Amino acid sequence: MENETFNKEILEKLQELKIKPRARWHFLLKNYAIWISGILALLIGAASVSVIIYLSSYNDFSIRQDINKSLGEILLLTLPYFWLIFLSLFVFIVYYNLKHTKTGYRYSIGFIVAFAVIASIFLGGIFYATGLGKELDEILGQKAPLYGEMINPRVDFWSNPEEGRLIGIIISQTNDEDFVLIDKDQHEWLVKIESDDFAALHLTGGPLRLIGEKKSDGVFEVFKVLPMMPGHGFFKRMNGGPHPPVPGGPRMMEQIEINF
Amino acid sequence: MIENIEFEQKTDEELVVIVLENQSVFSYLVNRYKDKLLRYIRRISNVGLEEAEDMLQNIFIKVYLNLNDFDDSLKFSSWIYRIAHNEVIDNYRKRKARPQLLDIDIKDSQIKELAGDTNLLEELARQELKQEISQALSRIDVKYQEMIILKYLEEKDYQEISDIIKKPLGTVASRMNKAKAELKKVLNTNHKL
């Protein structure tokens, strides 16, 4: 290869094709776009962690004997699979973006994935503490399709009167011992309670989880009543709006647990 | 002439800054790298001289086009070798052919280092060993071939190899160990035969 000829050819080609170095902003823009989309993916992943923490903080482990389920069964039936898949997807996007930054190749897959997971959990914890997890669950409960089936599997888990679990909102009280509850499929149930403690219940307004026994079609006898915190927004869809206010605020609802 | 000497004395990184203002200075960078890159292309691909020169031309055009993307977080030589490495890979894909070693010129000093690192058979005459290494390299996996070529023939360190092939240092180290083991295995098999 002739030195001068080759050099001349290169320079001639650059001039002939009017090739100019691409502008610096072009590369900077690409780099910023990768970083910004990576950070956004991290924030979305962290938001999903905050919902996972919120959903998990209201698990049913302590009442497993009342509902005749083992720890493993409860875990399997109520794990927030949707959010775990959502989180995995955004961890992958964070990984992909970090790997495509200028020096991303210097880090191993394990390091980047571990970083993305730990950062998502850390930020997710902060988001949860600020109430984002609850807020997101409330909004999605009101608006998202397939909320009860996919986003919050506990709604489905508690909608099983055959196994003694029923969830819904009280729409009216027929007498001191009976009231009418509407479930997630808008079916009405006559719920029977033999206790004076019922007086405290109708004030809760929000969705309730009932443990008891299905007596016949549309009739359910209750042994235990618990509030339902995640999924609260989902039941606001019914009857076109919010329920009566809860005396003492939401924390009071969480504390209510009445045995009959 | 004074200007020529001045440019000759500049580092690659300094020349890049000047080239962005003055296209003709690009020939100094071309001069510094064309022989090295042509040899590298021929070592890691199965293309003939003419095709290798076409690839080399494409490489320099890409280098010029992307000069603003170069930053001093890595050596210019690593950056230009990376562009060459990518060009060779693109070429494989277009040809849909796996590369094979065609033209390996190995210096005695390089043979000595490679032989030392892989505990190769000392009793082999140097010329015979050189030929055997060339043949053995052609028979190992392409990703291992390139490891040996970059380390022993192009004389790059692990950090430079990591920057060229865009893999973490740990991956480079483990791939290098596997490459040496593969090479040794093939050489020992050949020698027994």
Enter the ipTM.
0.81
What is the number of H-type helices and E-type strands within chain B?
Answer: 10, 0
Q: What angle do CA A191, A214, A68 make, to 5 degrees?
A: 115
pLDDT surpasses 60 at A33: yes
Structure tokens at B11: 């580092």
Structure tokens at A80: 């927030």
Question: B24–A6: do the CB atoms touch at under 8 Å?
Answer: no
**Rounded (10°) CA dihedral B101, B105, B108, B111:** -10
| Window from A43-47, A111-115, A165-169, B115-119 with minimum mean pLDDT | B115-119
pTM: 0.80
Residue A172 three-state SS: strand
Residue B119 β-bridge partners: none
**Rounded (10°) CA dihedral A96, B141, B151, B11:** -50
Q: Residues of B with CB below 8 A from A3's CB?
A: 31, 34
Closest chain A C-alpha to B21 CA, distance in angstroms: 10
A59 contacts: CB under 8 Å, gap ≥ 6: A74, A78
**Cα atoms found within 13 Å of the Cα of residue A100, Cβ hemisphere only:** 16
pLDDT digits (tens, 9 = 90+) for B34-74: 999 999 999 888 788 899 999 999 999 999 999 999 988 89
Residue B38 CB neighbours (<10 A): 19
Please give the full DSSP string across B19-56, using - where no structure is assigned. Answer: HTT-GGGHHHHHHHHHHHHHHHHHHHS---HHHHHHHH
Average pLDDT along chain A:
84
pLDDT digits (tens, 9 = 90+) for A206-240: 788 888 889 888 899 988 888 888 888 888 877 55
Closest chain B C-alpha to A243 CA, distance in angstroms: 57
Question: What is the DSSP-derived secondary structure letter of residue A206?
Answer: S
Q: Residues of A with CB below 8 A from B24's CB?
A: 11
By Cβ distance, the residue of B68, B167, B171 closest to A21 is B68
Contacts 24+ apart (CB under 8 A), A171-175: A171/A239, A173/A198, A173/A202
- For B69, the closest chain A residue by CA position comes to A27
Which pLDDT score is estimated for A88? 96
Residue A18 CB neighbours (<10 A): 6
Per-residue pLDDT band at B84 (split at 50, 70, 90): very high
> Residue B156 carries which side chain, given as an amino acid letter?
K
Q: Which of A2, A3, A5, A6 to mutate to test the interface with B (most CBs of B within 10 A)?
A: A6
Task: Taking residues B111-124, report their average pLDDT.
Answer: 63
Return d(Cα B145, Cα B44) in angstroms, integer. Answer: 7
Spatial CA neighbour of A7 closest among B70, B43, B22, B32? B32
Spatial CA neighbour of A157 closest among A252, A232, A248, A79? A79
Scanning B152-171 for CB atoms below 8 A from A yields 162, 166-171
Contact between residue A64 and residue B33 where contact means Cβ atoms under 8 Å apart: no
Return d(Cα B80, Cα B63) in angstroms, integer. Answer: 7
Ranked by mean pLDDT, the top range of A83-97, A195-209, A213-227, A230-244 is A83-97
Strands of A125-207, DSSP E: 165-173, 178-183, 188-192
> Residue B58 carries which side chain, given as an amino acid letter?
N
pLDDT digits (tens, 9 = 90+) for A183-193: 888 889 998 88
Q: What angle do CA A98, A102, A108 make, to 5 degrees?
A: 50
C-alpha A215: how far from chain center: 33
Q: Residues of A with CB below 8 A from B65's CB?
A: 19, 21-22
